[in-house]
Chains A and B, each alone.
Chain A
Amino acid sequence: MASLVRSFGDRSLRSLVDLDRGLVSREIYVNEDLYKMELEQVFTRAWLFIGHEAQVPNPGDFVVSRMGEEEVILVRDRKNQLHVFLNTCRHRGMKVCRYDDGNTLVFTCPFHGWSYDTDGRLVGVPYFDAAYKGDMDKSEWGLPEVAQMCNFYGSIWATWDKGAPSFESYLGPYSDTVRRAFQSSDGEDNGVELFNPVYKWRIPCNWKFPGFSFDGDRAHAAMTHRSINVAAIGPQGDAGGGSRAPIRAPFPYTDYEMTVPELGHGGHNAIYEQPGLAEYRDTWFTEPGVDDYYRAMREKKREKYRGQYIVGETALIWPNVNIQPHRILIWHPHSVGVTESWRAYPIDRMAPQHVKDAQRRYMMRYGGPCGLTESDDMENWNYASAASFGTVAKRYPYNFMMGAGHAFVDEQRAPGMTLNYEVAEENQRSRLRRWLEFMEAGSWEDIYPVNPVSPSAGEATKSKSKVES
């Protein structure tokens, strides 16, 4: 594996990220040149989340999405094939689509009128015969299309790099988690749709604040979210102390930070000490009839997973998307100090209206820029970022020491994963490791197949205590 050692200014990238000690220079969160490098090295290379096929059910349906800083269009062409195109005219760059979503026959550029079919072909050029006189071959001037696209159980992912491994290989041991996140609550594959539209808002912080800390920073919850329970936003209302999370039946499990250090993915996850799924416990006290639906769905799912050990319900998929049942969180780089946060909410496609309504209202009051939980995360990311730009501030590295050297594996119950205590910074260190590899790599050949990372020796840390995430 021929990994290039890249440098930035007079420092090697490696000197900025000391994974053994868990020390990371603030530079990588605030430096403009490094940010520009990320757009190239990370965001034109990695598989990125685009959307869901249910957003564009009919031929001609489109919705705008985003890869890195740039806008793309997810469109179903007139032959029912999905495409992801960069939203820019090949003539002189104008956006060919300035609507958020809709249905169209063609994307016609409002500048000089070049017109592209929904399959990306350039089909209309004004004055084509009279002015170009046969000098231009229209077939060479279609909309720029991603190098690879994957429809993974209904979810759409894409990369600009034709050298990237298949999406499933990219996910590695987390492919099952992502697959299950797009199941309906009875465990049927491709069982969800997304509520429309997607939330979009700007957070004044580097994209890695949310991107690296989500599903990797359980330690923040106790302090950041201290104020949330008084609002009792959970489906159960005031019952049980106003927790924002639904009530669950007891089931023997241990929570861990769980990561694939080679790939950069990881989540806060549980290993169940017995096979199968917990039975359903009523929780929707504020919304009549909803428990009946979810209870029946859970029974079907329990049947399906009887005898199986289930590992991993959530995951941060490197580099910038967090996949959870009922929630997809995406953090797009917008500038070195600004993130454009996108949020999509999957819902069982076949759920009755009152269930969809209840779930939708819960999601709206829970998260996003107007939800009660995340507002405090955003204040913290905002001013952590702001206070890291200073000349003196940058002399002090961030501390990612929590649990360093105490990771372990459990090949029996969590194959391919590296585990750490439920409150640790193992997942963030994984992302930083993968970040370094992407930033140094000359091409995908340097970073896939992966170099196995062996977790540093350390004792298995186990805890039965439940910490809110």
Chain B
Amino acid sequence: MAYITVTDLSLGYESHVIVKNLDFSVNKGDYLCIVGENGSGKTTLMKTLLHLREPMSGQIVTGDGLKRNEIGYLPQQTEVQKDFPASVYEIVLSGCQGRLGLRPFYSSEEKKLARENMERMGIAGLEKRSYRTLSGGQQQRVLLARALCATRKVLLLDEPVAGLDPVVTMQMYDLIEELNREGITIIMISHDIEAAAKYASHILHIGDKIFFGTRKEYLEGEMGRLFANKREGGERNNG
């Protein structure tokens, strides 16, 4: 059984349907990239997967031992207010909140986990810094470390590289790839089809046409050919 199985899902707001008849599944160890135009419903889909909103119809079933609250999440734009006083450590530690249950305070194990994840994301030195004074790339790392505290299984990333410079973008992709190699299942929204084609194992394209399949199927299919043409064109222009 797959981690997440989506059958005949429709998404929308009030009575307005955005996406219809979505079918796909995510298995342990997959790296799924969700691509599509602005406003095609990618973020809406992710929020539905996280049970932050109800689907209009259809089903989302989690299986293979994945519990509903074992999904880590990196939101699209961090809607954190500009003047929120919070240190990096406090934010990363709050990733452990799902483990708390009714216990009021974090255990030393959870604190250790938070420190380990900060180390992994290369932000150990920023521990006491205020989140609001960090650069975009550093902020993304903090939120990724927080997400890692919440899960060892599935990470949902909504445009993790938006607004980052090329170098930091590459670092971010490398980090994510490494996490995937360590066995964490990745579901990532991206506008960067090139990166999707490079890193993903599966691709879900939503929009007027819906496509779901492995990367190979995608590249060999209609949309992939379009993409390949575009890339060749781009290279020719550059050269």
**Chain B binds chain A:** no
